[in-house]
Amino acid sequence: MDRSVTAGQLKDKSLFQDTDDSAVPVKGVCHSCSKLKIFLGALAFSFFAKGFSGSYMKSMSSQIERRFEISSSIFGIIDGSFEIGNLMVMVLVSYLGPRVHRPKVIGVGCLIMSLGAFLSVIPQFLMGRYNYERITVTVDNSSMSVSACSPGLSVSRPVTDATETPSAMKNFGLVRSSGMFGPTLGFLLGSFCASLWVDIGVVDIDAISINPKDTRWVGAWWLGLLICGGVNFIASLPFWFLPSSLPKEGQNEKMKISHLPVQGDHCKTDSPVQPQLDFSEAVKDFLPALKKLFGNPIFLVFIFLTILQYNSLVGVITYETKFMEQQFNVSVAKAIFLIGVILLPITIMGMFLGGFLIKKFKLHITEMAKFACITFIVAYLLNLLYFTCSCEVLQVAGLTAPYSGLKHLSFPKNNFMASCNADCGCKLDQWDPVCGDNGITYMTACFAGCKSSTGTGKNMVFHNCSCVEGQGHGLGNSSAVLGQCQRESCTKAFPYFLALQTACAFILVLGGTPTYMIMFRTVSPDLKSFAVGIETLCGRILGGLPAPIYFGALIDETCLKWGTKNCGGSGSCRVYDTKAFRNVYLGLIAGLRAGCCLLYIVISVLIMKRFKLDGKETTDIKNTERSTSKEAAIDNKKEILPCARTSEESEETCM
pLDDT digits (tens, 9 = 90+) for 89-102: 766 676 666 667 78
Residue 480 clears pLDDT 70, i.e. is over it: yes
Cα separation, 101 vs 105, in Å, equals 6
Residues 34 and 647: their CA atoms lie apart, in Å, by 24
Q: Under a CB-based contact definition with an 8 Å cutoff, are residues 165 and 202 in contact?
A: yes
* Nearest CA-CA partner of 538 in 369, 313, 310: 310
The per-residue pLDDT for 406 is 65
Q: What secondary structure, in 3-state letters, does 158-226 show?
A: CCCCCCECCCHHHHHHHHHHHHHHHHHHHHHHHHHHHCCECCCCCECHHHCCCCCCCCCCCECHHHHHH
More confident residue, 148 or 647: 148
223, HSE (Cβ side, Cα atoms, 13 Å) = 17
What per-residue confidence (pLDDT) applies to 367?
A: 92
Whole-number pLDDT of residue 277: 52
- For the stretch 524-581, pLDDT in tens is 888 888 898 889 888 988 998 899 999 999 999 999 989 888 777 788 898 999 999 9
| Predicted pLDDT of residue 260 | 46
pLDDT score, position 278 = 59
Question: pLDDT tier at 591 (50, 70, 90 boundaries)?
Answer: very high
How far apart (Å, rounded) are the C-alpha atoms in residues 235 and 374?
Answer: 38
pLDDT at 615: 47
205's CB contacts (< 8 A; 6+ apart) are: 162, 197
What is the percent of the chain with per-residue pLDDT over 70, rounded to a whole number? 71
The mean pLDDT of 605-632, rounded to a whole number, is 58
The pTM of the full predicted model, rounded to 2 decimals, is: 0.78
Angle between helices 578-610 and 547-556 (to 10 degrees): 150
**What's residue 171's pLDDT?**
60
Residue 512 · residue 351 · CB < 8 Å:
yes
Least confident interval from 246-255, 410-419, 516-525: 246-255
Q: Does residue 467 or residue 246 have the better pLDDT?
A: 467
Q: HEC profile for 597-647?
A: HHHHHHHHHHHHHHCEECCEECCCHHHHHHHHHHHHHHHHHHHHCCCCCCH
Tell me 539's DSSP state: H
Higher-confidence residue of 530 and 643: namely 530
pLDDT band at 622 (very low <50, low <70, confident <90, very high): very low
Mean pLDDT of 352-375: 92
Question: What's the rounded mean pLDDT across residues 494-504?
Answer: 92
For residue 596, the model assigns a pLDDT of 97
Which is more confidently placed, 476 or 147? Answer: 147
Residue 438 pLDDT greater than 70, yes or no: yes
- The dihedral region occupied by 462, where left means phi > 0, alpha psi between -120 and 50, and beta the remainder, is beta
Q: What is the pLDDT of the chain when averaged over all its residues?
A: 78
- What SS3 class is residue 344? helix
Query: What pLDDT was estimated at residue 159?
Result: 39
Nearest-5° angle of CA 410, CA 415, CA 421? 110
Gap between the Cα atoms of 484 and 434, Å rounded: 5
Q: Is the pLDDT of residue 324 over 60?
A: yes
What's the Rg (C-alpha) of the chain? 32
From the list 469, 429, 421, 422, the residue with the least C-alpha distance to 445 is 421
- Which of the residue ranges 159-163, 292-296, 457-461 would you say has the lowest mean pLDDT? 159-163
Q: What is the pLDDT confidence band of residue 215, given thresholds at 50, 70 and 90?
A: confident
**pLDDT for 213:** 85
Over residues 476-502, mean pLDDT: 85
Tell me the pLDDT band of 222, cut-offs 50, 70 and 90: very high
Spatial CA neighbour of 134 closest among 23, 232, 216: 216
Greatest alpha-carbon span in the chain: 112
d(CA 355, CA 472): 63
Q: What letter represents residue 426's amino acid?
A: C
Interacting residues of 194 by C-beta distance below 8 A, sequence separation 6+ = 59, 60, 63, 212, 219, 220, 221, 331, 332, 333, 336
Element (H, E) at 15: strand 15-17
Q: How confident is residue 40, by pLDDT bands cut at 50, 70 and 90?
A: confident
Q: Categorize the per-residue pLDDT at 344 as very low, low, confident or very high, splitting at 50, 70 and 90.
A: confident
- Of residues 644 and 179, more confidence is placed in 179
Whether the per-residue pLDDT at 142 is higher than 60: the answer is: no
- CA–CA distance, 19 with 427 (Å, rounded to integer): 84
Whole-number pLDDT of residue 231: 96
Q: Which of 257, 217, 368, 177 is nearest to 15 (CA)?
A: 257
Alpha-helical segments (H) within 60-139: 61-67, 72-96, 102-126
Instruction: State pLDDT tens for residues 14-37.
Output: 433 444 444 444 445 455 557 778
Q: What is the pLDDT of residue 163?
A: 38
CA 106 to the chain's CA centroid: 20
pLDDT value at 412 more than 90: no
Q: Identify the sign of the CA torsion 416, 419, 421, 426.
A: positive
Amino acid present at 40: L
pLDDT confidence tier of residue 401, bands split at 50, 70 and 90: confident
Please give the average per-residue pLDDT across 307-334, as a whole number: 92
